Structure 1
Amino acid sequence: MTLRTAGQPRIAIVGGGIGGLATAVFLHREGLPCTVYEQAPQLAEVGAGLVISPNAARQLRRLGVMETLRERAVQLDTGWEFRRWEDGTVLSSENLTDACERLYGEQTYTAHRADVLNAIKAQVPPESVALGHKCVGLDTGATPRLHFADRRTVEADVVIGADGIHSVVRGALFAATPATYSGICAFRALVPAAKAPEFALRPAQTLWIGPDHHLVHYPVSAGELVNLVAFAPAGDYTVESWTATATVEEFLAEFDGWDRRLVHLIRAAGTPGRWALLDRAPLPRWSEGGITLLGDAAHPMFPFFAQGAAQALEDAAVLARCIATGLDDLAGALKRYEELRIPRTTRLQTVSHGRSHINHLPDGPEQRERDAAFAEHDPLVANAWIYNYDPDVALEGGVTAQR
């Protein structure tokens, strides 16, 4: 049953991933009880690694989980290390150790998604999580009503759809629009450190780029594992699922002719996951009445700027504050939330989409021009608009937090 305290709204969060749980923590910090409805019988993160950029670390610290997470996360010494596909020539490399905290007040880390989820979960009161609740429908009337697969129903004053790229809540709010076929698929795997080549164990985020492909690796789980994710032409593959798999041979075939060191890394990966990147245009609005969206349900984006989880955390921080300061007009509070967030997430969706073309240029004049530009480019400074963002400043009418 959705928790209700006298004089406070009933708040239901659909989805117990990073964004949904972070929203619950931020709401509780504002003195607002809520219930997270998760379809799985236990909270667990499907997936592998993620980059915790300074804007994400800022929110994790405010959630009170950063010190715990540091026990399992890996602080990066090097980021944006671009290498040429055929021989590993370093095209650019960013020293994060000194510059990152000086510029943004936080370091950059890599972590296993499960470690991030577990750290946030520990801050959520157990009675605020309802497991085994698969949402299958939503009535969008004056009082929203959630319908679950076991025929249970729940009414709430506020419904937050944090239920991912296949969001039931989004489907109830807006007419279904089919995803666009991107022509790109991704492979992912976790490699035990004991089996990984030495070059992949460094505290570095490394991106190998080449014609129609790129491959990223970095350590996670206190250095016990290496996260590996690679992008390639999808052909006729259109399955968008984090649980679909490929074979090592299929993975290797995509990187035939690349630096031989990558062969060792891929072979050590075991059975890789594989999913298609399907493109979705940014939504012009996220809310209707007492219902809104958050994270991938609101703004699914290509992973090329590593901002999916970071933007869900930012959403959570802003949404909680908007609700807490707008209890007399909840629909207005949700509108304020989307007005604050949509311009930023739309921009990130757009730049993430365009990055695949840059990374996947065929060898030739345009590729050589790009490689030369890498040597002169400082991505840590150039992306200040991403890393400087502070929800508190945005709520007060600013854009970034100058640190």
Structure 2
Amino acid sequence: MTSFHQSPGAPRIAVIGGGIGGLTLALALRRHGFSVAVYEQAAELAEIGAAVALSANATRELERLGLGPALAAVSTEPTELIYRDGRSGARVAAHPVRTGGAYRARFGAPYYGVHRADLQTVLSGALAGEGLHLGHRLAALDQVGDAMALTFANGVAVEADLVIGGDGVRSLVRRWITGGEAVRYSGTSAIRGVVPMGLLPSLPDPEAIQFWMGPDAHLLHYAIGGEADSVNFFAVVEGPQTWTSERWLAPIAPGGHRAGFAGWHPAVTEMLDALPQTQRWGLFVTDPLRRWHRGRAVLMGDSAHAMLPHHGQGANTTIEDAITLAELLAAGGARDLDRMMARYQALRQARTRTIQRSAWATNRLLHLPDAAGATALARRDARMTRFPEDFGWIHAFDARATVDRAAAEMRAA
């Protein structure tokens, strides 16, 4: 059985999953002097998905970790947030982001579009390989006294005082904690890709983050990269009604990528046709969990609260989780892990559930059918004009400040 390298008396912390959350958590814990082992099943940190939108609730924390310049160098700050009619292309609502410095002035941190591989490079570069174990797929875990015994598919076995499961929607750590998979298909699916800007001559406002809305479908896109030379898109449709593939991906017939977008604006069809499309992604979510921890294991990120991507908050709430765990441990939680995990769940559960529910409601708004009638469509449009007022609470959230308040309560108790 391999051993950890840590200071005497410090908890042995094992993070399962070397994605955005796991790497952020490792950096945040190291900042407070903790040693941590991150176990990633992949043999290398390769791209999973295409890109990610980072809002202020995440970028403020990454900047606090000293990653601001490196992150800015590989990211695009969108000019505006624009909602459009998917067929006519007409602007329904628009809100400044980079323009006039509006977003930073309101939320105190930037909004970025970044390729997921570039974000992973920034995070892993800062970690410099310290404590990162690639090619380690978790096969089993169990509690042995006050410790957790972990066995990996490559035969490696370790013990840890605290296991943090950041191993995604189909989390083995979650199955151990809850006794069930608790993952379900949302009834919606998507095609996605990264397109060179030069292939999109019909695209208006190319550096804006934009939602194109229509019956039973929508398309989201935003520019990425330090030169804003590519566009990441995510096109979502209702269906298929059931998902039979054991994987996230399922094949689509030639031309099937256009299903749901007939008669839409040329900018949309150019984007859909710019790359060969042979498969679709099923969108899966976790039902709200009653408990996030058991024994000395606790969940973070998609393992705990996988959500529809319509607020772009999957990666952002995962970063919030990582900062919350690190700050609670640093504030004395390492001396009482059971109490720390209970406080962590109390801090994170209500917020993530609210965002999950809001993402479902946003799916219905973005996919509103013509049959809903003019009044319902007008209400949808009015809702989009109120985006900063209705959803600013998501972006204004300060994970570290929230933990500081909770830590003060812990010390006073």
Q: TM-score range by the shorter chain?
A: over 0.9
1:57 is matched with which residue? 59
SS at match of 2:195: strand
2:275 is matched with which residue? 269
Provide the aligned length of Structure 1 versus Structure 2. 396
Report the CA distance shift for 1:247/1:71 in structure 2 as closer, same or farther (over 3 A): farther
Letter in 2 for 1:317: I
1:111 is matched with which residue? 114
1:126 is matched with which residue? 129
Aligned pair partner of 2:232 in 221, 224, 227: 227
Give the TM-score normalised by structure 1. Answer: 0.93
- In 1, the alpha carbon distance for the partners of 2:363 and 2:168 equals 22
SS at match of 1:298: helix
SS at match of 2:130: helix
- In 2, the alpha carbon distance for the partners of 1:397 and 1:347 equals 21
Q: What does 1:189-338 align with in structure 2 at a 5 Å threshold?
A: 189-199=193-203, 202-222=206-226, 223-236=228-241, 238=243, 239=245, 241=247, 244=250, 246=252, 249-271=255-277, 273-324=279-330, 325-338=332-345
2:346 is matched with which residue? 339
SS at match of 2:62: helix
Report the CA distance shift for 1:240/1:69 in structure 2 as closer, same or farther (over 3 A): farther
Letter in 1 for 2:94: S
Task: Please give the root-mean-square deviation of Cα atoms over the aligned residues, in Å.
Answer: 1.9
Moved more, 244-253 or 92-101: 244-253
Correspondence 1:162 to 2:162? no
2:403 is matched with which residue? 395
Aligned pair partner of 1:384 in 369, 381, 392: 392
Answer yes or no: is the 8 Å Cα contact 1:161–1:297 preserved in 2. Answer: yes
- In 2, the alpha carbon distance for the partners of 1:208 and 1:189 equals 16
- In 2, the alpha carbon distance for the partners of 1:237 and 1:227 equals 27
Answer yes or no: is the 8 Å Cα contact 1:94–1:378 preserved in 2. Answer: no
Letter in 1 for 2:236: F
Answer yes or no: is the 8 Å Cα contact 1:188–1:229 preserved in 2. Answer: yes
SS at match of 1:42: coil
- In 1, the alpha carbon distance for the partners of 2:284 and 2:271 equals 27
- In 1, the alpha carbon distance for the partners of 2:196 and 2:276 equals 10
Letter in 2 for 1:261: A
Correspondence 1:349 to 2:351? no
Moved more, 364-373 or 350-359: 364-373
- In 2, the alpha carbon distance for the partners of 1:320 and 1:272 equals 41
SS at match of 2:319: helix
- In 1, the alpha carbon distance for the partners of 2:63 and 2:246 equals 32
- In 1, the alpha carbon distance for the partners of 2:130 and 2:182 equals 37
- Give unmatched runs, 5+ long, in structure 2: 407-413
* Cα deviation 1:164-217 (Å, max 9, x = unaligned): 001110011112145344221111111122322352672101111111111111
SS at match of 1:140: strand
* Cα deviation 1:345-365 (Å, max 9, x = unaligned): 111111112211111111123
Give the TM-score normalised by structure 2. Answer: 0.91
Aligned pair partner of 2:149 in 121, 145, 148: 145
Give the % identical residues.
35
SS at match of 1:327: helix
- In 2, the alpha carbon distance for the partners of 1:383 and 1:360 equals 19
- In 1, the alpha carbon distance for the partners of 2:53 and 2:154 equals 37
Report the CA distance shift for 1:11/1:125 in structure 2 as closer, same or farther (over 3 A): farther
Letter in 2 for 1:18: I
SS at match of 1:150: coil
Report the CA distance shift for 1:346/1:94 in structure 2 as closer, same or farther (over 3 A): same
Letter in 1 for 2:198: A
Report the CA distance shift for 1:160/1:178 in structure 2 as closer, same or farther (over 3 A): closer
Aligned pair partner of 1:370 in 365, 379, 390: 379
Report the CA distance shift for 1:201/1:270 in structure 2 as closer, same or farther (over 3 A): farther
Shift of 1:241: 4.5
- In 1, the alpha carbon distance for the partners of 2:247 and 2:352 equals 22
Shift of 1:371: 4.3
Correspondence 1:9 to 2:16? no
SS at match of 1:340: helix
Letter in 1 for 2:277: T
2:410 is matched with which residue? none
- In 1, the alpha carbon distance for the partners of 2:21 and 2:263 equals 39
1:26 is matched with which residue? 28
Shift of 1:224: 2.6
* Cα deviation 1:64-102 (Å, max 9, x = unaligned): 2121111110011101x1111211111001111332111
Report the CA distance shift for 1:37/1:372 in structure 2 as closer, same or farther (over 3 A): closer
Shift of 1:136: 1.4
Correspondence 1:172 to 2:176? yes
1:401 is matched with which residue? none
SS at match of 2:93: strand
* Cα deviation 1:335-378 (Å, max 9, x = unaligned): 21111111111111111122111111111234422344146x33
Letter in 1 for 2:60: R
Moved over 6 A (4+): none
- In 1, the alpha carbon distance for the partners of 2:159 and 2:44 equals 23
Letter in 1 for 2:358: V
- In 1, the alpha carbon distance for the partners of 2:381 and 2:308 equals 25
Moved more, 248-257 or 343-352: 248-257
